[in-house]
Amino acid sequence: MNPALLALEDGTVFEGRSFGARTERTGEVVFNTAITGYQEIFTDPSYSGQIVVLTNPQIGNYGANADDCEAAQPWIEGLVVREFSPLASNWRSQEEAEHFLAHNDIPVAAEIDTRALVRHLRSRGVMRGVLSTTSADAKELVDKARHAPSMAGLDLATRVTTPERYEWAAGVSPCSPSDVIPDPGPVRHHVVAYDFGIKRNILRRLVHAGAHVTVVPAHTPAEDVLALKPDGVFLSNGPGDPEPLHYQQEQVRKLIGKTPIFGICLGQQILGLAVGGRTYKLKFGHRGANHPVLNRITNKVEITSHNHGFAVDPESLNPAEVELTHINLNDNTLEGFRLRNHPVFCVQYHPEAAPGPHDSHYLFDQFARTMDEFRGADCQSARRSATGASEEAPR
């Protein structure tokens, strides 16, 4: 049994048992409270630069499979859990979770008092840390943690984005004979998606909303995007601080009004900054699958999937231009807004779920309707439709 060390910048050190890769990784230590979906979390590019603590104490139970990947490989820097299962039991499992992480060079610290760690992060705020399954020198690791780059001001999106533009047309594949997934039907829209670390399930959901998707790198100029004649532009989720992404904010500013825009997570933050708003870092972020979000238009609550450390400050948005559409009922942070005069809307949480509840899938159809109406090139109608669309949602 090899030891694993997790050293935090404030000097706190947790010792556990190592699984996965023999290596050392540095990152911001964050926690996620979702009970299911560890594989989706491993492979969500938004976790790039982060060591993830899972509060569910039993991880690895159902192994790993190709369908549940949100990207080509895992993006977390390291994994911290209470207990890690060496045995995988599920009909879809193709390999043990440990192998999956090991041959992607990701270290695991197991048998850690994750609850104590979470309580620590909750009160002190997330902080930098080093997870090592090779070194036993706690002091040195704490030192390394202190010298690691801090998340604030860090541009990670352009690091994880696709180097090349590519096309996406694949939908969701059923996980069981009883998993009824309606057929996408004929392609009705061409969506250009900015990849800041996009999750595959967003692409799959866009496909089920009738879109053919062209995914473009984070540094693609607005002109090139418009040249692709999109029916709509999508701004993806992604890691790091939105603030330094000035170029992307600039492109988005150019696109507003020329095409319908839908943003998720980092996408919302970039939009917020693009329209003159401010973003700020949350003490310990929102990472989980149980956050209640109130849709102010339908006055209904959605149980939603979250993964963000930064948020848009509602005070910083101009009420004359921006309408706040979604609010988090736990802490009243801003979860979604739309522009009053343009077919532009976004949410801070993850309507594509994966992992998490499906309560918010309706937003993808809302995007499709917005694009339909924009074909008539009338922003007004598009705005109303956005309202109309949300009325019967969420289902």
| Nearest-approach distance from CB 248 to another protein, in angstroms | 30
| Nearest-approach distance from CB 277 to another protein, in angstroms | 26
Measured from the CB atom, the residue of 263 and 355 that comes closer to another protein is 355
Degrees, nearest 5: CA angle 314-317-320? 125
Catalytic site residue 103? no
> Could you give the CA distance from residue 226 to residue 117 in angstroms, rounded to a whole number?
47
> Could you give the CA distance from residue 12 to residue 33 in angstroms, rounded to a whole number?
21
Measured from the CB atom, the residue of 35 and 72 that comes closer to another protein is 35
Question: What residue ranges bind another protein (CB under 8 A)?
Answer: 31, 33-37, 39-40, 55-58, 61-62, 65, 67-68, 82-83, 85, 87, 89-92, 111, 113-116, 118-119, 122, 175-180, 288-292, 294, 299-301, 303, 329-331, 353-358
Read off the tokens for 84.
């890690």
Read off the tokens for 141.
């690791």
Helix (H, G, I), strand (E, B) or coil at 196: coil
- Choosing from 9, 70, 77, 265, the catalytic residue is 265
Catalytic site residue 140? no
| Nearest-approach distance from CB 177 to another protein, in angstroms | 5
Measured from the CB atom, the residue of 92 and 165 that comes closer to another protein is 92
Q: How many residues does the chain have?
A: 395
Measured from the CB atom, the residue of 295 and 370 that comes closer to another protein is 295
| Nearest-approach distance from CB 287 to another protein, in angstroms | 9
18, 3 Cβ separation under 8 angstroms: yes
> Could you give the CA distance from residue 324 to residue 40 in angstroms, rounded to a whole number?
29
Q: What is the CA radius of gyration of the chain?
A: 21
Measured from the CB atom, the residue of 189 and 204 that comes closer to another protein is 204
For tokens 């979470």, the residue is 118
| Nearest-approach distance from CB 204 to another protein, in angstroms | 12
Measured from the CB atom, the residue of 111 and 373 that comes closer to another protein is 111
Read off the tokens for 163.
């180097």
Q: Which of 24, 4, 97 is nearest to 56 (CA)?
A: 97
Beta-sheet pairing, 127-132 with 279-295: unpaired
Catalytic site residue 95? no
| Nearest-approach distance from CB 350 to another protein, in angstroms | 12
| Nearest-approach distance from CB 301 to another protein, in angstroms | 5
44, 199 Cβ separation under 8 angstroms: yes
- Choosing from 77, 302, 335, 352, the catalytic residue is 352
> Could you give the CA distance from residue 76 to residue 74 in angstroms, rounded to a whole number?
6
| Nearest-approach distance from CB 208 to another protein, in angstroms | 14
Cβ-Cβ contacts under 8 Å for 384 (sequence gap 6 or more): none
Q: In whole angstroms, how far apart are CA 9 and each of 106, 137, 149, 155, 369?
A: 20, 14, 11, 21, 48
Question: What is the largest distance, in Å, between two alpha-carbon atoms of the chain?
Answer: 65
- Choosing from 286, 342, 350, 361, the catalytic residue is 350
Q: Which of 141, 153, 126 is nearest to 50 (CA)?
A: 126
> Could you give the CA distance from residue 19 to residue 3 in angstroms, rounded to a whole number?
9
Measured from the CB atom, the residue of 1 and 377 that comes closer to another protein is 1
Measured from the CB atom, the residue of 89 and 318 that comes closer to another protein is 89
Q: Which of 202, 193, 306, 215 is nearest to 260 (CA)?
A: 193
Read off the tokens for 70.
């949100």
Q: Rounded to 5 degrees, what are φ and ψ at 325?
A: -105, -30
> Which residues are catalytic, by number?
265, 350, 352
